[in-house]
Amino acid sequence: MSVFKMPSLGADMESGELIEWLVKPGDTVAKGDVIAVVETHKGAIEIEIFEAGVVESLDVQVGESVPVGTPMAVIRAAGEAVVENEKDGPVGETVASEKQGIKKQGDQIEKVEARQVEKQKSQKQPQKITAARAAADGQQLASPAARVRAADAGADLADIPGTGPGGAVLLNDVEHWLSLAEKPAAQPDANAEAAETRQSSSLKPGLYMAMMRQAIAAAMSRAKREIPHYYLSHRIDLQAATDWLAARNAERDPEQRLLMAAMFVRATVLAVRKVPELNGTFEDGVFSGADTVNCGLAISMRGGGLIAPALMDAGSKNLDDLMLAMRDAVVRTRTGRLRNSEVTQGTITVSSMGDNGTDSLLGVIYPPQVALVGFGTPARRPWVIEDEVQVRTVVDVTLAADHRVSDGRRGARLLTEIERLLGEPDLL
């Protein structure tokens, strides 16, 4: 038997609210399965399990605020004997003792959160994950199985007609809709404005945004206080990449076109392989280099705030696959459908200003990562080539890095490698 605990979904997280169980006692689970949905300041996060077995018990009720590390469920290995009384035996004792210890540690957190949450719940009784709760929060009614199937397919439940009680979307409704849809993958901007309001199932938008800003402030204050940042900046000629991108997109339909941001991410992912000390995490005084590049992508929320989900194993994706992954990440970030691995396992982050008109970006490293690469807005500038002044498209690339792990010489190597790759876009 093993105990499944509330995971930490970021350096700034102290607790989360359980808003949905996607499994029940007796269900068989496999590594990577999503078993619950937890509300944090980053929205609703799907919680994966990283071991296989059978759900023995669920020890946290929907609607509870759960401190990080609290036992939430007991998982029995396949073939292991069923426990008649969950309080008996070493696992039961472990769950009980850990719950008691964490309860004491979380008392202050609970008191603070209770004052905020009770204001929102004072006019109605807490509900299970029922149609009543979903309706009260403006959330699409749907069965757990339907939610999982729609999330896996990248479909927005708001687009699917429901045939269940009160118009709830059932699993059969999702399957039928997917069979009729020519393009099942959700489009980045389709219903994004409306869907984003569903990110918080239990908090009013004003309170939700205030909590997000407070969490961002806490995380960034910690980062600036604990991480000795150093910054490097390098302006590079982007004309070759711009021309290459225009030629490639001219032959494509609009929905299949690449964005310059995908080239920025791809160049960074390839370049950091040459400077591995910038790809990994620094915790408890030790740097741990990562075998793969899980590239965080800074995504702005329409109502304010910023989340940087990781594009898992981005180095294995070509430009087209990377573009699809980026679009998918934007949709799921703004509709509250991220997985816990995507918000906890990033190894380096890329932030691009796009068309916002800012020359450069000096970022703050997201702990426990050790580097962030920022791209300003590409612009037409005078550029000297062989003693002649030409007008070229250029971009300022900056690096924020952790001085405990690397120094300026190694940081400069990363920027010059990014320059080389963007100067020869066929290498991407």
- Report CA torsion sign: 152, 153, 157, 162: negative
Q: Which one, of 213, 13, 204, lies nearest residue 117 by Cα?
A: 204
Q: How many CA atoms lie within 13 A of 44 on its CB side?
A: 24
| Identity at 258, one-letter amino acid code | L
3-state secondary structure of 291: coil
Q: Is 145 left (phi over 0), alpha (psi -120 to 50) or beta?
A: alpha
Across 219-248, average pLDDT: 94
pLDDT confidence of residue 96? 52
Across 71-77, average pLDDT: 92
Q: How far apart are CA 397 and CA 90, in angstroms?
A: 55
Using alpha carbons only, give the angle 281, 284, 287 rounded to the nearest 5 degrees.
35
pLDDT in tens, 145-172: 677 677 767 777 777 877 665 566 766 6
Q: How far apart are CA 264 and CA 405, in angstroms?
A: 23
Q: CA 389 from chain center: how many Å? A: 44
Burial of 328 (0-12, 13-18, 19+ CB in 10 A): middle
- Report CA torsion sign: 111, 116, 120, 123: positive
pLDDT confidence of residue 302? 74
Kindly indicate the confidence band of residue 266, based on its pLDDT and cuts at 50, 70 and 90. very high
Q: Which one, of 328, 411, 331, 427, lies nearest residue 374 by Cα?
A: 411
Query: By the 8 A CB rule, do 412 and 247 touch?
Result: no
What is the CATH code for 2-77? 2.40.50.100
pLDDT confidence of residue 83? 60
Higher pLDDT, 13 or 57: 57
Q: How far apart are CA 359 and CA 375, in angstroms?
A: 8
Of 99-103, 339-343, 389-393, which gets the smallest average pLDDT?
Answer: 99-103
pLDDT in tens, 369-420: 999 999 999 999 999 999 999 999 999 999 999 999 999 999 999 999 999 9
Q: What strand order describes the sheet that includes 53-58?
A: 2-5, 71-76, 53-58, 28-29
Higher pLDDT, 264 or 125: 264
Check for a shared fold between 2-77 and 229-427.
Answer: no
Across 36-57, average pLDDT: 86
Higher pLDDT, 226 or 86: 226
CB count within 10 Å of CB 244 equals 17
pLDDT in tens, 166-219: 566 766 677 777 766 544 344 444 444 434 444 444 455 555 556 667 777 777
Q: How far apart are CA 113 and CA 407, in angstroms?
A: 41
pLDDT confidence of residue 268? 98
pLDDT confidence of residue 111? 47
Is the pLDDT at 231 greater than 70? The verdict is: yes
Is the pLDDT at 130 greater than 60? The verdict is: no
Q: What is the largest CA-CA distance in the chain?
A: 83
Q: Which one, of 131, 129, 193, lies nearest residue 156 by Cα?
A: 193
pLDDT confidence of residue 377? 95
Q: How far apart are CA 375 and CA 379, in angstroms?
A: 12
pLDDT confidence of residue 110? 45
Q: Which residues have a Cβ under 8 Å from the Cβ of 298 and sit 6 or more positions away?
A: 306, 307, 308, 349, 350, 351, 352, 363
pLDDT confidence of residue 423? 97
pLDDT confidence of residue 255? 87
| Three-state secondary structure of 172-215 | HHHHHHHHHCCCCCCCCCCCHHHHHCCCCCCCCHHHHHHHHHHH
Q: How far apart are CA 21 and CA 160, in angstroms?
A: 22
pLDDT in tens, 275-331: 999 999 999 999 999 999 999 999 988 777 788 999 999 999 999 999 999 999 999
Query: By the 8 A CB rule, do 415 and 232 touch?
Result: yes
Across 18-34, average pLDDT: 91
Is the pLDDT at 134 greater than 60? The verdict is: no
CB count within 10 Å of CB 245 equals 19
What are the angstrom distances between the C-alpha of 106 and each of 38, 60, 65, 117, 201? 17, 15, 10, 16, 22
Q: How far apart are CA 141 and CA 131, in angstroms?
A: 6
3-state secondary structure of 338: strand
Q: What are the tokens at 242? A: 């711009």
Q: Which CATH class is domain 229-427?
A: alpha beta
Kindly indicate the confidence band of residue 84, based on its pLDDT and cuts at 50, 70 and 90. low
For the chain, the domains span 2-77, 229-427
Query: By the 8 A CB rule, do 171 and 146 touch?
Result: yes
pLDDT confidence of residue 214? 72
270: which strand partners? none
Q: How far apart are CA 371 and CA 157, in angstroms?
A: 36
389: which strand partners? 384
Across 39-52, average pLDDT: 83
pLDDT in tens, 273-289: 999 999 999 999 999 99
